[in-house]
Amino acid sequence: MTDYFWLIPFIPALSTLILVLFGQKLPKKYVSFQACFAVFASFAISVISFIGLLQTSHEHLPIIKNLFSWIHAGSFQADLALQLDPLSSIMTLVVTGVGFLIHVYSVGYMADDEGYTRYFTYLNLFTFAMLILVMGSNLVVMFVGWEGVGLCSYLLIGFWFDKHSAANAGKKAFIVNRIGDAAFLLGIFFIFTHIGSGEFSVINAAIGGGAITQGLATLIAILLFVGATGKSAQIPLYIWLPDAMEGPTPVSALIHAATMVTAGVYMVARMNVLFTFSGSANSLVAIIGAVTAVFAATMALTQNDIKRVLAYSTISQIGYMFIGCGVGAYAAGMFHLFTHAFFKSLLFLAAGSVIHALSGELNMQKMGGLRKYLPLTYPTFLIGAIAIAGIPFLSGFFSKDAILTSAYANGQYLVWALGIFCAVLTAFYMFRLIFLTFFGNERLEPEAKKHLHESPPAMTIPLVLLAFFSIVAGYVGLPVVVGKDLNFFGRFLEPVIHQAHEVHLSLGTEWMLILISIAVAVTGIFIAWVFYIKNPKIPKNIVARFPGLYKLLYNKYYVDEIYNTLFVNSTIKGSEIVYDHFDLKVIDGVVNGSAKTTNFFGKVLSYFQTGYIKDYALIFLLGVILLLGYLLF
Amino acid sequence: MNTIYALFPVLIIVAASLLVMILEVFLKREDRSYLAYISLLFLIAAAAGCVKFWDKGYSYFDGNLSLSNLSLFFCFILIIATFLVILISMKYLTLQNANYGEYYVLLLFALSGMIIMVSSSDLIVIFLGLEVLSLSSYALAGLRREDEKSNEAAVKYFLLGSFASAFLVFGIAFLYGATQATAIPSIVEGLQSGSSFGTLGLVGLGLVVIGFGFKVAVVPFHMWTPDVYQGAPTPITAFFSVGPKAVGFAVLLRIFIPYFKDALESQLMFGLLWIIAAITMIAGNLIALRQTNVKRILAYSSIAHAGYLMVAILAQDTQSLVFYLTAYLFMNIGAFAAVIALGKKDHEYLELEDYKGIGFRYPWIGATFAVFLISLAGFPPTGGFLAKFYVFSAAVRQGLVSLVIIGVLASLVSVFYYLRIIIYMYMKEPSYDVEINIDNPSLFLALFLCLYGVLQLGIFPGNILVLISQAVAALPF
């Protein structure tokens, strides 16, 4: 049943090709049908392959399909090969499953947009690139997908490029990602140099066989992780994700919540042998994850743009996933990725439905009391919020708990404490969002109120389905307290995730941890209720009491400004200096300084009156002198 | 094997240029396009010769001209480059009022010089070829006689070029003094055997680096590049950015890759080239950020690419160097072809402002240009990505980690200015109408061929890599 798994990425690719070539001539209805169908077909094959994988014994894993030998020259080899193993199988299910629902949702959301065909072309192209990323059997293929999703993300963020901010946001995302990619690429080079292959199986075997030292492993792992911080929006490269919200909302749901931004987590899980071997790289991952989680959550507290709250929340939740990976619980990290894909895309799509209902309003201060107008959006939104807040029996609770329990069990108490603190913040800002949007008095613009309506079925049906999965997805990985061996998710991943050592906590401790996380979630919600329902004056008082802190948070710690001054401006400055001073001025200096030479050349060259040739010749001569000077002295 | 067949590629190109020169007298001005067709035919014949002589190892003049596989491969890509340049020139010349018959003559002479350069391992013969190339180039740069910029370009190129040639000859003389040889293998052997003239040899090598450094445009011998590139007719700019660069590196690799085998002896030179590579990558990319003229952007970009190619020399990896040059040929000529496509009678659109909204107005030109820019920036799945990947990974294998970090960061900067053109094409509303001449089949053929080349090298590079590895295996050292 796994024979045709390699077709999964190529169906969206084919669809993209058709849309690129003939898209403008095809009717709108057909375009959306084809785009959705292509992803659905991929989803169907993913499901079949998944079932096939369940029946395959561990010795036959991973199943590799070598499409053709891509680069074969000397010691440098890479095949265009796809692989199916539990990890890639889960990712394909998420990408195509959630992707399909978002495609369907887009049919309704983008219905009146001029760039309808262009939109679906990009979306299919993205699906293709993302599938290549998760299915590649070596680092080079993975990198190709990695760059591909970056490119699509750029195209889709800047989709409404006539909006200046959108074009800029796209550029920012692209360039920040390139910084991470540069480090990622260096890491790949090191692996090729010291292991001689980019195939994951070979790398894992080589590390097991002691091909590289621990120090080198740490270096490589950190380089790869820097790549992950770019793609997955972690400190220090997270700044692009909030701006990326300029793109259409379904794109935010697909790319900037469910799939692409979690690619970094996938990559770290894929390279788990390396990270575990290094040890210190793992600690770094955990700490960066924990700090990012809290840092981003604090920024979410003060935002008024509904999508930006969700964007910071995504950064924060990915921080959790990295905590999981960093403490060695890769399966838990992947589990959170899995559940997060459902509830976060649900939240985004529901937010999109709200925005759609209000004719494009993003500011939560201008919403309120929408509960009764949006009878389907409201409950689904609420389910998403409960899931992410970590209330028991919904998916987010189980995955978050698995991560925090592992952190505690591995003795990373600081990381655990940060995680718990972040959980309070999460519950608070999510319910702040819910209360501001759906409760309280109506603060709508009169114009928006006139058109207020629930969204069409193409949009609400995906919401309902995602809400369903946000509830049940957690039950594939139940904690030990419920019963032994109920963590199907973890066991399924075992062939890929090489557990170094598993620490078991006593059942009492496990219960305690669970109760703590439930308590903090409830506390967070309660505070939000007090602040925004019971006594709406409190937030204003707090702002008045701590204006500095509020300003700091509201301006997102001024990180953008700092980066601008430090990096962007200095690069531009550097360019100016090199161009103005080196290419133009230094030469003048040399000319003035060495009158004799100038005269000599001046006589010869002034005849041509070009003005600059003498300078060029002089810099040439300067180069000669420096070069010979270097060689001789 | 010593046979006169070894002269075939050069002879056929020279014959073509002579024939074109004679025919020009008899042809009316509007029939000049026949000259282009004749040139193209002869180029195909020469290319067929290169294919036929593969693995034969023909040589003549006591081995002074020898068609090793590597030489043949270089010949072949140079012929392709010239072929593409002629395709993009045909309409351009009439549109820009530069339809002189000597255009093709000079182009073919330049090609013959380049073929001599890549098929010899004797510095004197190489110098001979270089001068044939250079003299034709100076004239080509100034071909638009009425255009001030074009004249300026020719004079600048000529003066600075002669300057560089003088250093080169000087260097060859020094090397002869140090090793009593002009053939590269003997020179390298002499230098490595540690003769008493060590310093003399070193200075000689340094001067040779200067001479070729000028041709391939590495910092600080790059000053001529932007002005000449901007002033020369655009197809000639495309030619300059590819042809001389390829031959320059073909010679540098013959000298330095065997020379670097002896790491201790070559330490100083290695350090020198390291510095040149680093500053070339940094300065080229940084300055390009400030440019607003597309031709100047591409000029600085070609300087930066010389830096990456230098990294390949330092990595002592002929294969990645040759692959890079091949990919660079297609993407760079392609980019210039796209620039040429945006032209009408007596006017070219060269400022960034002109490119606003081009992607929608002329979707095909915009899309192909975008692909070439993406390839120049080094994105998968294009040839430019693989080439860079290949060079940098070879460099890391040689332990040149800090240089690769500089290279990767520099190419990160390069994304800014390549992307900037794409942003102008796709994300800005045009503020005025850009009328172009669409009726230009040969140009579109060239665009298509370059696009094919870039994608073939990026997605299915297998066959070409096999070919290159054969070429490298037959290296005379």
Beta-carbon count within 10 A of B27 CB: 14
Summarize the confidence of residues B166-185 as an average pLDDT.
91
A551 vs A543: CA distance, rounded Å: 9
Strands B65-66 and B347-348 come out as: unpaired
Q: Which of A27-31, A441-445, B402-406 has the highest mean pLDDT?
A: B402-406
* Residues near A112 by beta carbon (within 8 Å), at least 6 away in sequence: none
Residues 113-172 on A with a CB inside 8 Å of B are 140, 143-144, 147-148, 151, 158, 161-162, 167, 170-171
Q: Which helix (H) or strand (E) holds A264?
A: helix A263-270
pLDDT value at residue B198: 75
B372 vs A567: CA distance, rounded Å: 28
Q: What angle do CA A310, A315, A317 make, to 5 degrees?
A: 85
On whether any CB of chain B is under 8 Å from the CB of A559, the answer is no
Beta-carbon count within 10 A of A57 CB: 7
pLDDT value at residue B140: 92
pLDDT value at residue A588: 41
B290 to chain A: which residues are within 8 Å by CB?
575-576, 579
Q: How close does chain A come to B90, measured CA to CA in Å?
A: 29
A141 vs A133: CA distance, rounded Å: 7
SS3 A174: helix
Residues 231-260 on A with a CB inside 8 Å of B are none
> What is the overall mean pLDDT for chain A?
84
pLDDT value at residue A594: 38
Domain carrying residue B322: 4-473
CB-based contact A623 B210, cutoff 8 Å:
yes
B1 vs B294: CA distance, rounded Å: 48
B133 vs B214: CA distance, rounded Å: 14
pLDDT value at residue A375: 86
CB-based contact A73 B271, cutoff 8 Å:
no
- Beta bridge mates, A64: A83
Q: Which of A208-212, A220-224, B252-256, B310-314 has the lowest mean pLDDT?
A: A208-212
User: Percent of chain B scored above 70 by pLDDT?
Assistant: 98
Summarize the confidence of residues B164-168 as an average pLDDT.
93
| Residue B375 near residue B298, CB atoms below 8 Å | no
Q: What is the pLDDT of residues A373-392, one digit of tens each?
A: 888 889 999 999 999 998 88
On whether any CB of chain B is under 8 Å from the CB of A188, the answer is yes
pLDDT value at residue A609: 35
User: Percent of chain B scored above 90 by pLDDT?
Assistant: 49
Residues 53-112 on B with a CB inside 8 Å of A are none
Count of structural domains within chain B: 1
Q: What is the pLDDT of residues A146-167, one digit of tens each?
A: 988 988 888 888 888 777 788 7
CA-based nearest residue in chain B for residue A615 = B223
What is the CB-side half-sphere exposure of residue A513 using CA atoms within 13 A? 26
pLDDT value at residue A64: 84
**Overall pTM surpassing 0.90 (yes/no):** no
Surface-to-core class of residue A593, CB atoms within 10 Å of its CB (0-12 exposed, 13-18 middle, 19+ buried): exposed
Residue B243 binned pLDDT confidence (cut-offs 50, 70, 90): very high
Specify the higher pLDDT residue, A111 or A123. Answer: A123
pLDDT value at residue A583: 54
CB-based contact B465 A72, cutoff 8 Å:
yes
pLDDT value at residue A76: 67
Q: Which two tokens stand for residue A488?
A: 């199907």
pLDDT value at residue A502: 63
SS3 A368: coil
B140 vs B440: CA distance, rounded Å: 22
pLDDT value at residue A452: 82
Summarize the confidence of residues A172-199 as an average pLDDT.
86
CB-nearest to B408 from A76, A186, A627 is A186
Token pair 């201790």 is found at B264
pLDDT value at residue A73: 61
| Residue B298 near residue B421, CB atoms below 8 Å | no
CA A562: distance to chain centroid? 22
A613 to chain B: which residues are within 8 Å by CB?
155-156, 159-160
A266 vs A278: CA distance, rounded Å: 18
Q: Which of A314-328, A513-527, A577-591, B229-243 has the lowest mean pLDDT?
A: A577-591
pLDDT value at residue B15: 94
pLDDT value at residue A536: 79
A197 vs B177: CA distance, rounded Å: 47
Q: Which of A11-25, A564-578, B203-217 has the lowest mean pLDDT?
A: A564-578
A468 vs A487: CA distance, rounded Å: 20
A179 to chain B: which residues are within 8 Å by CB?
412
Q: How close does chain A come to B41, measured CA to CA in Å?
A: 33
**Residue A97 confidence (pLDDT) above 90:** yes
Surface-to-core class of residue B23, CB atoms within 10 Å of its CB (0-12 exposed, 13-18 middle, 19+ buried): middle
User: Percent of chain A scored above 70 by pLDDT?
Assistant: 92
pLDDT value at residue B175: 92
On whether any CB of chain A is under 8 Å from the CB of B52, the answer is no
Residue A458 binned pLDDT confidence (cut-offs 50, 70, 90): confident
**Residue A239 confidence (pLDDT) above 60:** yes
CB-nearest to B416 from A76, A175, A185 is A175
A396 vs A388: CA distance, rounded Å: 5
A626 to chain B: which residues are within 8 Å by CB?
220
CB-based contact B287 A632, cutoff 8 Å:
no
On whether any CB of chain B is under 8 Å from the CB of A10, the answer is no
CB-based contact A610 B415, cutoff 8 Å:
no
pLDDT value at residue B117: 94
| Residue A599 near residue A616, CB atoms below 8 Å | no
**Residue B445 confidence (pLDDT) above 90:** yes
Q: Which of A543-557, B101-115, B133-147, B361-375 has the lowest mean pLDDT?
A: A543-557
Beta-carbon count within 10 A of A66 CB: 13
CA B260: distance to chain centroid? 24
Asked whether the CA dihedral B102, B108, B112, B113 is positive or negative, the reply is: positive
Q: N- to C-terminal Cα distance for chain A?
A: 71
A544 vs A538: CA distance, rounded Å: 10
Report the amino acid identity of residue B289: L
Q: Which of A433-437, A488-492, B45-49 has the lowest mean pLDDT?
A: A488-492
CB-based contact B423 A610, cutoff 8 Å:
no
Q: What is the pLDDT of residues B69-96, one digit of tens each?
A: 899 999 999 999 999 999 999 888 888 8
Residue A58 binned pLDDT confidence (cut-offs 50, 70, 90): confident
pLDDT value at residue A474: 86
On whether any CB of chain A is under 8 Å from the CB of B379, the answer is yes
On whether any CB of chain A is under 8 Å from the CB of B160, the answer is yes
Judge if ipTM > 0.90.
no
Q: Which two tokens stand for residue B256?
A: 């330095």
**Residue B387 confidence (pLDDT) above 70:** yes
Q: Which of A118-127, A353-362, B106-115 has the highest mean pLDDT?
A: B106-115
Q: What is the pLDDT of residues A572-621, one digit of tens each?
A: 777 676 666 555 544 444 434 433 443 444 344 333 334 467 777 777 88
> What is the overall mean pLDDT for chain B?
89
